[in-house]
Amino acid sequence: MDERPVRFEDLIERHHDELYRYAWRLLDGAGMVEPQDVIQEVFMNAYRAYPTLRAGSNTRAWLFRITTNCAYSMLRRSRRERASTISLDEEALRSPADPLERQVARRQVVESVQEAISLLPPRQQAAVLMRHIHGLRYDEIAAALECSEEAARASASEGVRRLRRELTGMEE
């Protein structure tokens, strides 16, 4: 089967928002690098490579790999220090009935988690975000990070362990 299972335009439409959020989380606070610039480069690179993509390939993991590579390449080119926040979806954590004190406490927890995630090594950070924020399977993470499934699992696992160590005592 030589024909692509999905038109390239359909891939863009299907994955754009998710890839944008992933790039935004990877780049948050990086300064000069904007997620929309990364996504533009991702889809340009993907468009050029699409004809060589094998039928039946995991296009989602393929696009996450391109996004990861583009984001880190652009960060290296920008030569700017990364800031210490990665935005999580606070709306999912907030209840309108929560008193102000609880909302403030929850915001502090979110900020602590954001900072802890941003301090992870790049591969662990990417693995944790892909697994726990975007819900990718380990085989998809492995494809995106160009490593074995075991290495992807280890990166996500070690990232979570580091987060737990960093955040221990946060609720005390």
How many other CB atoms are found less than 10 A from the CB of residue 136? 24
Q: Give the residue from 81, 106, 133 where a domain finishes.
A: 81
Are the C-beta atoms of residues 25 and 134 closer than 8 Å to each other? no
Q: Give the residue from 42, 66, 81 where a domain finishes.
A: 81
- Tokens representing residue 163 in the block: 């987060």
In this predicted model, which residue has the larger pLDDT, 165 or 114? 165
Is 170 found in the same domain as 91? Answer: yes
Identify the pLDDT of residue 169: 58
Is 128 found in the same domain as 156? Answer: yes
d(CA 166, CA 155): 16
Identify the pLDDT of residue 166: 85
Is 103 found in the same domain as 30? Answer: no
Identify the pLDDT of residue 30: 55
- pLDDT category at 31 given cuts 50, 70, 90 is low
The DSSP line for 91-144 is: GGG--TTS-HHHHHHHHHHHHHHHHHHHTS-HHHHHHHIIIIIS---HHHHHHH
d(CA 28, CA 34): 8
Indicate which CATH number applies to the domain containing 54.
1.10.1740.10
Is 42 found in the same domain as 109? Answer: no
- pLDDT category at 32 given cuts 50, 70, 90 is low
- pLDDT category at 119 given cuts 50, 70, 90 is confident
Identify the pLDDT of residue 64: 94
- The model's pTM is 0.59
In this predicted model, which residue has the larger pLDDT, 33 or 94? 33
Tally of domains within the chain: 2
Is 74 found in the same domain as 90? Answer: no
Supply the range of the domain harboring residue 41: 1-81
Nearest Cα to 141, choosing from 110, 149, 32? 149
Are the C-beta atoms of residues 50 and 98 closer than 8 Å to each other? no
Is 92 found in the same domain as 170? Answer: yes
Mean pLDDT, the chain, integer: 80
Is 96 found in the same domain as 169? Answer: yes
- Return the percent helix, strand and coil in the chain, to nearest 5: 70, 0, 30
Is 166 found in the same domain as 96? Answer: yes
Identify the pLDDT of residue 152: 94
Q: Give the residue from 16, 48, 81 where a domain finishes.
A: 81
